[in-house]
Amino acid sequence: MKLAIISLKGESSSKIADEASNFFSEVERLDLRKIEVHSTSKGLEVLYDGNPIKKYDCIYVRGSHKYSLLQRTLTEALGKESYMPLRPSSFTIGHDKFLTLVELEKNKVPIPATYLAATVNSAKKILSKIDFPIIMKLSTGTQGKGVMFADSVQSANSILDTLEVFKQPYIIEEYIETNTTDIRVIVAGDEVVGAMKRKATPDEMRANIHMGGKGTNYIPAPDIEQIALKASKAIGADICAVDILEGLKPMVIEVNLSPGLGGITKATGKNIAKSIAKVLYDKTKLFKSSKTSQDYNNVLKDINKNEEIVTNLEVKAGKIRLPEIITRASGLRSDEEVSISVSKGKLIIKKM
């Protein structure tokens, strides 16, 4: 089976590709920035570096929010022919912090109280009605960037005035006291393959590894695992990272579609890339098996409608071997008696 990892060619993508070479017969690393999608009267066509993209059994798309539209279109175009661990809608939802929270709430995943404001004025009205401290975010951004802490109305208003230059909606989120820690859980398939607790540095409230946070191995309780699995399913991602706050009760604050693996691999001592590669392989086999069955069922429906199929026969040593699809369509078994009528260019087999 053939795998393509389409990404910005970062270190984590390379680690997954290296491990996947132990499962797949062929693994290719493609640069997301060289992908084009053309929409014509003939449908969607995907090009890589100016040429039609090759056919793959599995395509794993990774990358930042800057490419969310391209990622969604790419998976829309190729998702029927290749297994993809991220559904098209995942890129629209997962790369927008507020849409993520909306989808999580819809699926009964616990989240902090969160508010979305389109303008500075409406955001300031919200600030006058809520308790402090609070967390303020832009709707896009990764690795802890675009996340700010405000302990008073005055500091929040000052942050808003600064953020106005970005011309983006503002997210205002309930602050959950966790002693500046959070939990990152990696979901692959139907299980948690690794988790770490992240602790922010003394002068920082964001626990992200890219912001200097320190990660330690963490064994999630069953309720944490179930929340993480439920969150991944809510946004349609078979592979993702789920960030959870442990307050009075666990709450999901973010889902990352392209998680870095360096920090969690070091913290857990586990080969997370290998676990992800194995899931890609197993899910691809399941996808191909399901697709074959679906193709058979579609052909069988046509046979039942038209009562005729055109095919070639395999004749070896004077024996005729019929294609499997014909055997399945006939419903005949090897232990049943049949009558056979033969004439030149004609063969009729009937169950007795």
Contacts 24+ apart (CB under 8 A), 143-146: 143/208, 143/210, 143/211, 143/260, 144/206, 144/207, 144/208, 144/210, 144/211
Q: Which residues contact 126 (CB under 8 A, 6 or more apart)?
A: 115, 117, 172
Residue identified by tokens 């389109």 is 118
Q: Which residues contact 162 (CB under 8 A, 6 or more apart)?
A: none
Report the percent of the chain where pLDDT is more than 90. Answer: 58
The sign of the CA dihedral 220, 225, 227, 233 is: positive
Query: Helix %, strand %, coil % for the chain, to 5?
Result: 35, 30, 35
DSSP state of 101: H
Q: Which domains does the chain have, with CATH numbers?
A: 2-93 (3.40.50.20), 113-175 (3.30.1490.20), 309-351 (2.10.260)
Between 211 and 33, the higher pLDDT residue: 33
Does the structure show a pLDDT above 70 at 325? no
What is d(CA 295, CA 172) in angstroms, rounded to the nearest whole number? 48
Average pLDDT estimate for 245-250: 87
pLDDT band at 141 (very low <50, low <70, confident <90, very high): low
Torsion-angle region of 108 (φ positive above 0: left; ψ -120 to 50: alpha; else: beta) = left
**Which pLDDT belongs to residue 202?**
60
Average model confidence (pLDDT) across the chain = 87
What is d(CA 218, CA 76) in angstroms, rounded to the nearest whole number? 36
Average pLDDT estimate for 222-236: 96
**Which pLDDT belongs to residue 58?**
97
What is d(CA 106, CA 103) in angstroms, rounded to the nearest whole number? 5
**Which pLDDT belongs to residue 317?**
66
Does the structure show a pLDDT above 80 at 271? yes
**Which pLDDT belongs to residue 220?**
95
Report the percent of the chain where pLDDT is more than 70. Answer: 85
Does the structure show a pLDDT above 80 at 309? no
Tell me: cis bond preceding 133? Omega within 30 of 0 counts: yes
What is d(CA 168, CA 62) in angstroms, rounded to the nearest whole number? 24
**Which pLDDT belongs to residue 306?**
53
Tens-place pLDDT, residues 55-74 = 999 999 999 989 999 999 99
Between 251 and 330, the higher pLDDT residue: 251
Q: Which residues contact 237 (CB under 8 A, 6 or more apart)?
A: 85, 86, 87, 90, 94, 187, 255, 257
Does the structure show a pLDDT above 90 at 321? no
Residue identified by tokens 């690393």 is 29
**Which pLDDT belongs to residue 145?**
67
Q: CB-based burial of residue 40 (10 Å sphere; 0-12 exposed, 13-18 middle, 19+ buried)?
A: exposed
What is d(CA 119, CA 352) in angstroms, rounded to the nearest whole number? 78
Report which of 93, 143, 150, 109 is spatially closest to residue 127, judged by C-alpha positions. Answer: 150
Does the structure show a pLDDT above 70 at 335? no
DSSP state of 83: B
Average pLDDT estimate for 183-199: 95
Does the structure show a pLDDT above 60 at 208? no
Does the structure show a pLDDT above 90 at 43? no
Does the structure show a pLDDT above 80 at 304? no
Lowest mean pLDDT among 15-24, 187-196, 246-255, 343-352: 343-352
CB 45 within 8 A of CB 38: yes
Does the structure show a pLDDT above 70 at 300? no
- The number of residues making up the chain comes to 352
Tens-place pLDDT, residues 73-131 = 999 999 989 999 999 999 999 999 999 999 999 999 999 999 999 888 899 999 988 99
Tens-place pLDDT, residues 278-292 = 999 999 999 988 776
Average pLDDT estimate for 286-312: 64
Residue identified by tokens 């992908």 is 35
Q: Which residues contact 129 (CB under 8 A, 6 or more apart)?
A: none
